[in-house]
Structure 1
């Protein structure tokens, strides 16, 4: 899909890393600066994708990793077509809580799915499309799981064991290291203000954001 581009920013990281809070703060700051902005999330962000979110995060189904990845990319395609692409075409800065890197980290690094399957699904669902900038919030998995537990009833992924989340954490660090032109690794152990300051600096340096 050829998409006229505004600016597309993704936030990635394991459970409890603070992606949603940081996305909300960045979106508010951009809006205050007069920049059209849309904050969205995955899985979800469009009606069909939200229906798949309920299927993927709820219940107790132990999905086959290929089937799980296919559902994630089906939701992502709906999200791109129905929400992200129109916002970018209108010149908005789109801030998305999770995107394709999460499928690489969770389904490939976490569940052992062959990355070649991820690459094929990516090309089918998102041909020629990628974030302008990805902020990877780096948090030790034990700290992240403690934060997630404090939020309330865990979802299906949060109920998976510490070994799984350790693999996911390592996966996100590897993604950041292998994509330095796109990714910025942030220390999610920082308090909210210094973490926001580091993220805002990355947006200014990489994208010329009015922050």
Structure 2
């Protein structure tokens, strides 16, 4: 486990249902008597909230500037929220972490997955989740679920989201011991049960 607690990240494309699964898992962990810290990226800190609004809803930003803003968000987030929580033994559950930046800016924006991964790793001081749950959904389904409201990332064409999806798969395939890939098109209760089963195997539930 990271530090003394346990660190779980939910990743996936827009509209995959990550937030729903975060809610299901937090409920199960709290019922098991665990202290749970729930957060999201970008966001989760005062600085992160300002950066989230800037990068998702503000004026146009160049791809490299976008990658740097996401890295700054994570650097602040890790130091202010995640590390202190892990140090006291809490379970930290985050909606997105470094993999999203690698997939969205590295693959989606074509900045280079390794370059963005190196930037993200430096920003978070090498802190990786104990478990990453990849909630997979195809771009068309994700777009339909989001309805008519889209932020800057969500508004990108399906080709962008397809590249993001493929890179998520590549990262999961490269480190299967640290990932759980679930079908975001399955019923929410089934997905939640699969996540709980994995964490039961880890001794967390």
Identify the TM-score tier after normalising by the shorter chain. Answer: over 0.9
Equivalent residue, structure 1, for 2:12: 13
Equivalent residue, structure 1, for 2:113: 115
| SS across alignment from 2:176 | coil
Tell me the distance in 2 between the aligned counterparts of 1:123 and 1:194: 32
Equivalent residue, structure 2, for 1:89: 87
Tell me the distance in 2 between the aligned counterparts of 1:133 and 1:71: 25
Q: Would you say 1:128 and 2:126 are equivalent positions?
A: yes
Equivalent residue, structure 1, for 2:161: 165
Aligned partner (choices 165, 176, 179) of residue 175 of structure 2: 179
Deviation at 1:60, TM superposition (A): 4.5
Q: Would you say 1:209 and 2:204 are equivalent positions?
A: yes
CA 1:119 to 1:162, structure 2 compared with 1: closer, same or farther past 3 Å?
A: closer
CA 1:39 to 1:125, structure 2 compared with 1: closer, same or farther past 3 Å?
A: same
Deviations 1:91-135 (CA, angstroms, capped at 9, x unpaired): 100010000000011001111012232133123212231100000
Structure 2 unaligned regions, length at least 5: none
Equivalent residue, structure 2, for 1:34: 33
Structure 1 unaligned regions, length at least 5: none
Tell me the distance in 2 between the aligned counterparts of 1:34 and 1:133: 19
Instruction: Show the 5 A alignment for 1:57-68.
Output: 57-61=56-60, 63-68=61-66
Residue pair 1:60, 1:156 contacting (<8 A) in 2 also: no
User: What TM-score does the superposition give when structure 1 sets the normalisation length?
Assistant: 0.92
Residue pair 1:23, 1:95 contacting (<8 A) in 2 also: yes
User: What TM-score does the superposition give when structure 2 sets the normalisation length?
Assistant: 0.95
Equivalent residue, structure 1, for 2:98: 100
Residue pair 1:10, 1:134 contacting (<8 A) in 2 also: yes
Deviations 1:136-195 (CA, angstroms, capped at 9, x unpaired): 01111110111012xx52111111111111111111111111111111110111011111
Deviations 1:34-59 (CA, angstroms, capped at 9, x unpaired): 11001110101111111100001103
Instruction: Show the 5 A alignment for 1:135-150.
Output: 135-149=133-147
Q: CA RMSD, aligned part only?
A: 1.3
| SS across alignment from 2:155 | coil
Q: Would you say 1:47 and 2:46 are equivalent positions?
A: yes
Tell me the distance in 1 between the aligned counterparts of 2:82 and 2:124: 12
